[in-house]
Structure 1
Amino acid sequence: MNRYLVILMRRPQVDPAAVPLHQQFLEDLRAQGRNEMSGPFGDKSGGAYLLRAASLEEAIEIAHRDPAHTSGGWDITLYEWHAR
């Protein structure tokens, strides 16, 4: 499994109802061993999580299921990350 840094930046039209759904999505990924760590940025502009996936394509598919993405409230960018 590779690691992918998923960065989420809030858009002005964030639906507050999507936040708990996003948090549950991250917890579900953690239970599957796919979310190594996650958290918001200190300035509340967004957040990030470290996703484990077999490929960039799989990572994108997973991240695009995130309610943060499906609600349209966050811009999501993924990077393959070779952390040590």
Structure 2
Amino acid sequence: MHRYLVLLIRRPQVDPAVVPLHQQFLEDLRAEGRNEMSGPFGDKSGGAYLLKAASMDEAREIAFRDPAHTSGGWDITLYEWHAH
């Protein structure tokens, strides 16, 4: 498994009702052993999570199922991360 840093930046049209759905998505990933850590930025502009996946394609497929993405409220960018 590789690690991918998933960055989420809020757009002006964020629907607050999506936040609990996004949080549940992250909890489900944690239960699957795929989310090592996650959290919001201090300025409330977005957040990030560390995702485990076999490939960038798989990481994108998972991240793009996130309600934060499917709702259109956040811009999502993924980076393969070689953390130590």
- Which 4+ stretches in 1 moved above 6 angstroms? none
Q: CA deviation at 1:33?
A: 0.1
Unaligned runs of 5+ in 1: none
Q: CA deviation at 1:4?
A: 0.0
Q: Does 1:43 align with 2:60?
A: no
In the alignment, the residues of structure 2 paired with residue 15 and residue 60 of structure 1 have an alpha-carbon distance, to the nearest angstrom, of: 22
Q: CA deviation at 1:6?
A: 0.0
Give the match's secondary structure for 2:82. coil
Q: CA deviation at 1:73?
A: 0.1
Q: CA deviation at 1:51?
A: 0.1
Q: CA deviation at 1:36?
A: 0.1
Aligned to 1:22: 22
Structure 1 residues 34-57: Cα deviation after superposition (integer angstroms, max 9, x where no partner): 000000000000000000000000
Query: CA RMSD of the aligned region, Å?
Result: 0.2
Aligned to 1:8: 8
In the alignment, the residues of structure 2 paired with residue 18 and residue 57 of structure 1 have an alpha-carbon distance, to the nearest angstrom, of: 25
Q: CA deviation at 1:2?
A: 0.1
In the alignment, the residues of structure 1 paired with residue 66 and residue 39 of structure 2 have an alpha-carbon distance, to the nearest angstrom, of: 14
TM-score, normalisation: structure 2 = 1.00
Give the match's secondary structure for 2:15. coil
Unaligned runs of 5+ in 2: none
Q: Percent identity?
A: 87
